[in-house]
Amino acid sequence: MASSSSDPDKLITKLSFTRWNADWKSATSLYEQAAIAYRFKKENEKAKDAFEKASKGQEMISSASEFYRECGRAQPASDALAKGASFLEDNTPDEAIKMYDEACSILEEDGKEQMAFDLYRAAASLYVKLEKYSDAAATFLRLGSAADKCNAINSQCKGYLSAIIIYLYAHDFQQAQKCYNDCSEVQAFLNSDQNRCAMKLLSAYEEGDAEGIKQAAQSSAIKHLDHVVIRLAKKLPTGDLQTIKKLADDDGEDSLDENDLT
């Protein structure tokens, strides 16, 4: 039996008790729920109208952020988008990600990368929820680059390790290995516990050692990462280990051939 919250007419009726200008969050949420319910009932015109009204709330967020930017106030401009993104995560995650991205960019342009760390994490977590793993890994790498500018070494190394774990979870061993090699060019990461953990993971993958992977995934370096990454690490290994091992062996043979001068 459908709950009352799935009845679009009741949702719209509830809006009469919602002050649109004072409580745009509640109004936007109700309109979005109603739009989805109308669409489910194939009442397309009502769904379209509800979606259009829901979009007004998103426009208010963007307008507020733009106003702060014009006043030279990067932090409140970013905060407005971040709050809106957090609110939109469940119903319109793609729009939420755009807002998180813009909120991060505002802080980056103002040289306040450290204030964006939580926003990078929120966006990456949402990408994982949407199973957009390459985007999630790229966001953690973006966090790492931002942390580098702030000399926030611990956050930088955690961002790099998070990206590697996500690539492994997505069965992309080659990208994980490339990511590791690129990040290891950064001295701070090369000498870190996160680097050693990543190296153990990749070595176990190359050897097709499932137990070794599980053991490496329990390291203290991983226990201090974001919860979304810890959950992925606990599920390792994923994919066909023998195929990964073969790819690693083939790469090793190619490398030997390139260095063979005889």
pLDDT in tens, 60-89: 777 778 878 888 899 999 998 998 888 788
Kindly indicate the confidence band of residue 21, based on its pLDDT and cuts at 50, 70 and 90. very low
Max mean pLDDT among 36-50, 77-91, 150-164 falls in 150-164
Q: 34 phi and psi, to 5 degrees?
A: -65, -40
State yes or no: pLDDT of 40 exceeds 50.
yes
H-type helices in the chain, by residue range? 8-14, 24-40, 44-70, 74-88, 93-109, 117-129, 133-150, 153-169, 173-183, 187-190, 193-206, 210-216, 220-223, 227-234, 241-259
Average pLDDT rounded to a whole number, residues 166-194: 96
Least confident of 6-15, 70-79, 89-98, 144-153: 6-15
Q: Is 14 left (phi over 0), alpha (psi -120 to 50) or beta?
A: alpha
Identify the pLDDT of residue 224: 96
Domain 131-251: give its CATH architecture: Alpha Horseshoe (1.25)
From 53, 49, 140, 36, select the one nearest 92 (Cα to Cα).
36
Tell me what pLDDT residue 70 has: 84
Query: pLDDT grade, residue 13 (50/70/90)?
Result: very low
Q: Where in the chain is the domain with CATH 1.25.40.10?
A: 131-251
Tokens 């039996």 belong to 1
pLDDT surpassing 70 at residue 19:
no
**Total-model pTM:** 0.77
Mean pLDDT of the chain: 84
Closest CA to 174 of 247, 254, 229: 247
**Reported confidence tier of residue 233, pLDDT bands at 50, 70, 90:** very high
